[in-house]
Amino acid sequence: MKTLLHVKSSIFGDDGQSVQLADRLIKRWLQQNPEGQVVVRDLAAEPIAHFDMQTIAALSAEAEQRSPEQQAIVALSDQLITELQEADVLVLAAPMYNFAVPSQLKAWFDQIAKNGVTFRYTEQGPVGLLQDRPVYVLATRGGQYREAGLDFQVPWIKLILGFVGLKQVEVVYAEGLNMAGADVAIEQARVELDALTLS
Ligand SMILES: Cc1cc2nc3c(=O)[nH]c(=O)nc-3n(C[C@H](O)[C@H](O)[C@H](O)COP(=O)(O)O)c2cc1C
């Protein structure tokens, strides 16, 4: 049985345009994988705290010396990484907020990029430790950046996914969603989505 991990970061929850595109893709995936299991990590509904000194102290403490608060921090970190390790397919619903990914999604990446677990440094540089698997990114934005060469969101997502070993990344863009012609743009994204060969 395959597992798909759906990471949502829209502050609009299930009404978010990125989430709706992701839901469409997942519906198709479930038709192809009727036994498939979908795990949802909703970063807006259950935000992850910023990566800070408390987090580092908890992750560095010896297991038997951790306070209850530190145990909770480590448990969440472990859970987020396990969800990712166990997923055969990753779906990232990724809106653009202030030219970048939502801070909720950045906080998730801060947690799952863990030295010795999802990447490690070698003499030749960093090596991703996650087994590669298909990743589908639904990139929604109010304006248009792709053609203008001003996209700091998707290249960053690809960079950090590659850093942890995930290189099979397909991106569906829905641009100009706050501009005239948004209906056409979202329809184009749906068509592109429906044409993807899903794993
Ligand atoms: C807080 C916030 C910041 C945004 N910043 C940008 C931006 O920098 N560039 C842009 O093109 N659109 C921006 N938008 C518009 C969103 O990218 C667009 O509405 C997108 O479809 C939202 O996806 P969602 O509905 O999945 O959250 C912003 C929206 C919000 C709520």
10 is in an annotated binding site: yes
- Look at strands 119-122 and 89-95 and give their pairing: unpaired
The atom of ligand 1 lying closest to the CA of 18 is: 26
179 is in an annotated binding site: no
Is the CB of residue 117 less than 8 Å from the CB of residue 129?
yes
Measured from the CB, is residue 153 less than 6 Å from ligand 1?
no
Domain boundaries, the chain: 3-52+88-195
Measured from the CB, is residue 176 less than 6 Å from ligand 1?
no
pLDDT tens-digit profile, the chain (199 residues)? 999 999 999 999 999 999 999 999 999 999 999 999 999 999 999 999 999 999 999 999 999 999 999 999 999 999 999 999 999 999 999 999 999 999 999 999 999 999 999 999 999 999 999 999 999 999 999 999 998 999 999 999 999 999 999 999 999 999 999 999 999 999 999 999 999 999 8
CA gap 89, 37 in Å, rounded: 10
Distances (CA, A) of 166 to 90, 131, 172: 10, 7, 17
Q: What share of the chain is helix, strand, coil (3-state, %, to 5)?
A: 40, 20, 35
Provide the CATH topology of domain 3-52+88-195: Rossmann fold (3.40.50)
Measured from the CB, is residue 97 less than 6 Å from ligand 1?
yes
122 is in an annotated binding site: no
pLDDT of residue 133: 98
The atom of ligand 1 lying closest to the CA of 15 is: 25
Cα-to-centroid distance, 145 and ligand 1 (Å): 12
Measured from the CB, is residue 13 less than 6 Å from ligand 1?
no
Is the CB of residue 113 less than 8 Å from the CB of residue 120?
no
The protein residue with its alpha carbon nearest to ligand 1, atom 23, reads 95
